[in-house]
Amino acid sequence: MKYSEYNPSKIEEINHLFIKTFSDSEGESEGLVIGELTNNFMTSTDVNDFCCFVATNNNEIIGGVFFSRLTFESGVKAYILSPMAILTEYQGKGIGQKLISFGLNALKKNGVELAVTYGDPNFYSKVGFSVISEEIVKAPLKLSYPEGWLGQSLVSDRIDPITDKSYCVEALNKPDLW
């Protein structure tokens, strides 16, 4: 398995991976919503505001994870992990955790201080995320599932509370995604 930053020539393949994986796990309409999100990242988001890492097996992209910028007035350098997908037949083999660690390491090397995500604490706690309250880090939109608001510092062993509001990129700025 190879882990790397995505190549823009693979946009179609990556969109397909997300549509397929989320259609399998949550139904076709959710697959299309997530496919639109990944397409918006790769085709209409400033390249400085998102990154995507992929897992490749024998030239086939079998997993992907997106991180996009979360902006704070205080200037803390932060990214949000969302979405991620590992093709159904490759799930449960540790690939998702390795792909996230690969991505977090790349962000760390680029001076990112904080990573947050919004999902299942049981899974994301395996790669260093903990449940956080909005007193620690404010979400950019209203959370329908506050128990899934998670974060980790990439520079110390705890997150210093950030009091200012956060802003996400346009692709994520849709209440239904939260």
Ligand X SMILES: CC(C)(COP(=O)(O)OP(=O)(O)OC[C@H]1O[C@@H](n2cnc3c(N)ncnc32)[C@H](O)[C@@H]1OP(=O)(O)O)[C@@H](O)C(=O)NCCC(=O)NCCS
* Residue ranges that bind ligand X, judged by CB under 6 A: 21-22, 25, 82-86, 91-97, 119-120, 122-123, 126
Q: Which helix (H) or strand (E) holds 65?
A: strand 60-72
Q: CB 75 → ligand X: shortest distance, Å?
A: 27
Six-digit token string for 93: 């083999």
Beta carbon nearer to ligand X, 68 or 162: 68
State the Rg of the chain over Cα: 15
Beta carbon nearer to ligand X, 95 or 171: 95
Q: CB 110 → ligand X: shortest distance, Å?
A: 22
Beta carbon nearer to ligand X, 22 or 149: 22
Beta carbon nearer to ligand X, 21 or 68: 21
Beta carbon nearer to ligand X, 85 or 168: 85
Q: CB 83 → ligand X: shortest distance, Å?
A: 4
Q: CB 13 → ligand X: shortest distance, Å?
A: 16
Query: Pick from 4, 15, 124, 12: which is nearest to 54 by CA?
Result: 4
Question: CB–CB of 162/72 below 8 Å?
Answer: yes
CA distance 42 to 95: 22
CA distance 114 to 78: 5
Q: How many residues does the chain have?
A: 178
In the complex, residue closest to ligand X by CB: 96
Question: What backbone torsions phi and psi does residue 117 show, to the nearest 5 degrees?
Answer: -155, 175
Q: CB 156 → ligand X: shortest distance, Å?
A: 25
